[in-house]
Amino acid sequence: MAARVLIIGAGAVGAVTTHKCAEFPEIFSDICLASRTLSKCDAIAKQLKRPIKTAQVDADDAKAVVKLIKEFKATMVLNLALPYQDLSIMDACLEAGVDYVDTACYEPLDDNRYSYKWQWPYHDKYASKGIMALLGCGFDPGITNVFVAYAKKHFFTSIETLDILDCNGGDHGLPFATNFNPEINLRELDAKGKYFKDGKWIEIDAMSQKQTFIFPEVGQKDMYLIYHEELETITKHFPEIKQARFWMTFSENYLMHLKVLKNTGMTGIKPIKHQGQDIVPIQFLKSVLPDPATLGPRTKGKTNIGCIITGITPTGKRETRYIYQICDHQETFKEVGSQAVAYTAGVPPVIGAALMAQGVWKKPGVFNTEQMDPDPFMEIMAKFGLPWKVLEFYELPH
Ligand code: NDP
C-alpha cells in the first residue's frame, strides 16, 4: 500500500529523506514536510521533481503534531527533527494511530546520557494499537545494527566481538565544522567513552583510546573509541556478544578545536547568564558554526561506515567479517544536493519506511532495526543509493 508520509525536520538529514521519498512515488504517494521554520521546508520542496505539501509545526507540542497528522491524513511519520522531540512525536503517533520512524534515540535537553530507556516502554501501547515504531533507523544507529543481524543470520551461530567503524574521509576545507547538527554531534563527543566487555560497561576518558586503520577506498585514519547508542540495543538483542566497541575517525585539527571549545566551556549544556539573558553555550556555539546543510558543495572525499564482526561459524570455526558501505560526498551532492554524512543518515529511514509501508517490516510494537529480518533491507540498499560490501577480515586488537 502506498504511504502518506509526514516528514518532520527540514534540516540536513530531513532534506535528504524528503528527496529520497520523492524519488519513489509508487511507495510514498503523498509527502508533507513540516518543521519549526516553514521557509526551510519550502526551499527543499522547490528542489524536488514532484509537488509536496509543507507545514509549520512545533514538534515539542504533541497536540499540534496530532492535528497535522490528521489534516494531512498521514499513515506514517518520519522524525528527522532532533532527539529531544522523539517522545512528543511518538505520543502524537500513538494518539493518531500511525506508524513512527526515527534515527536517533531520545535524550533529555539537560542531560547528554542518551538511552533507549525512554522509548522502549512504548512497546505495549504501540502493540495494542496495532502500530509500529522503528527506532534508530539511520546509518549508525540503523544500518550498522542491520549489518550485525545479517552477520548473525548468514555467517555465525553466535557473535563474539563487534567493532563499529565510522569514518568520514571527506574534506570541506573549513577550519572547523560538524557534519550533522553541531549541538547533537558535540554533546555526543563531550561524553566519556564507553564500551561493553564481558557483561559490563567500561568507561574511559573521552578520546583516550585510539587505533589506526586503513579504510577501504578512504585510506589510513586515526579512529577513537566513543560511546554510541547502538551499543545499548545490539548488546541487548545479541546477549552472547562479549565485546562491543564503537570507533569514529577524527583529524588532529578537529580534536584540537574540540578540546579548546570544551576547555572554554563552549560545549556546556546548562543555561548560563549572558548580559542578563539565559543562554545555553552549546546552542550559541551551534549558531556561530557552519550549518551542516551548507557543506554539500564544498565537501570532497568519501565516507566508510561498517562493522567488523567476529563469531563462531556453523562448522565451529572462529571467523571475522567486515561489512561496510562507502559513499562519495560529491556523488550524493549531485543526486540530492547534500554531503554524504547527511545522505547516509537520511536514506535509511526511507528504506525502513518503505519496508513498513509494503508490510515487509510491519510488526505492532516498538523495535530497533536489528530485531527485523535484515535480508529485505540489505537487498534494496543499493537501489536506494547505499551499496555495501562484505569481506573476510581480521579482528581488531582488543
Ligand atoms: P538539523 O539541525 O540540521 O535539523 C533538524 C531540523 O529539525 C531543523 O530543521 C529544525 O528546525 C527541526 N526542529 C528542531 N526542533 C524542532 C521542533 N521543536 N519542531 C519542529 N522542528 C524542529 O539536524 P540534522 O538534520 O543534522 O539531524 C537530524 C536528526 O538526524 C537528528 O536527530 C540527528 O541526531 C539524526 N542523525 C542520525 C544519524 C544516524 O546515522 N542515525 C546521523 C546524523 C544525524 P529549524 O531549522 O527551523 O530550527
Residue linked to cell 558554526: 289
| Stated pTM of the model | 0.96
Average pLDDT estimate for 223-251: 97
Phi, psi of 245 (to 5 degrees): -135, 160
Residue 138 Cβ contacting ligand 1 at under 6 Å: yes
Neighbours of 276 (CB within 10 A): 5
| CB-count exposure of residue 121 (10 Å: 0-12, 13-18, 19+) | exposed
Which atom of ligand 1 has the smallest separation from the CA of 88? 18
| Separation CA 134–CA 360 (nearest Å) | 13
Which atom of ligand 1 has the smallest separation from the CA of 60? 18
Query: Do 220 and 212 form a contact (C-beta atoms < 8 A)?
Result: yes
Query: Do 60 and 89 form a contact (C-beta atoms < 8 A)?
Result: no
Query: What is the predicted pLDDT for the residue at 108?
Result: 87
User: 286 and 262 in one domain?
Assistant: yes
Query: What is the predicted pLDDT for the residue at 318?
Result: 98
User: 176 and 324 in one domain?
Assistant: yes
- Indicate which residue's Cα is closest to atom 11 of ligand 1: 36
Residue 182: band (very low, low, confident or very high) from pLDDT cuts 50, 70, 90: confident
Residue 349 Cβ contacting ligand 1 at under 6 Å: no
Considering the chain, what percentage of its residues have pLDDT values greater than 90?
Answer: 91
Cell numbers found for residue 12: 540536513
C-alpha 350, offset from chain centre = 12
Vertex 77, ends 179 and 238: CA angle to 5°?
A: 70
User: 359 and 242 in one domain?
Assistant: no
Query: Do 18 and 48 form a contact (C-beta atoms < 8 A)?
Result: yes
Query: Do 242 and 162 form a contact (C-beta atoms < 8 A)?
Result: no
Residue 112 has pLDDT above 80, yes or no: no
Residue 186 has pLDDT above 90, yes or no: no
Query: What is the predicted pLDDT for the residue at 187?
Result: 82
Query: What is the predicted pLDDT for the residue at 85?
Result: 97
Which residue, 221, 230, 211, is CA-closest to 168?
221
Residue 387 has pLDDT above 90, yes or no: yes
Mean pLDDT of the chain: 96
Q: Could you tell me if residue 398 is inside a domain?
A: no
Query: What is the predicted pLDDT for the residue at 391?
Result: 97
| Separation CA 86–CA 218 (nearest Å) | 34
Q: Could you tell me if residue 21 is inside a domain?
A: yes
Average pLDDT estimate for 133-159: 98
pLDDT digits (tens, 9 = 90+) for 27-45: 999 999 999 999 999 999 9
Type and span of the H or E element at 94:
helix 86-96
Query: What is the predicted pLDDT for the residue at 398?
Result: 85
Query: What is the predicted pLDDT for the residue at 179?
Result: 82
Vertex 327, ends 321 and 328: CA angle to 5°?
A: 140
Cell numbers found for residue 350: 526511507
84 CA to centre of ligand 1 in angstroms: 10
Which atom of ligand 1 has the smallest separation from the CA of 15? 25
pLDDT digits (tens, 9 = 90+) for 346-372: 999 999 999 999 999 999 999 999 999
Residue 12 Cβ contacting ligand 1 at under 6 Å: yes
Query: What is the predicted pLDDT for the residue at 36?
Result: 98
Q: For a ligand 1 pocket test, name from 103, 109, 286, 289 the mutation site with the most ligand atoms within 8 angstroms of its C-beta.
A: 103
Domains identified in the chain, total number: 2
User: 313 and 369 in one domain?
Assistant: no
Residue 145 Cβ contacting ligand 1 at under 6 Å: no
**Domain coverage including residue 262:** 143-335+386-392
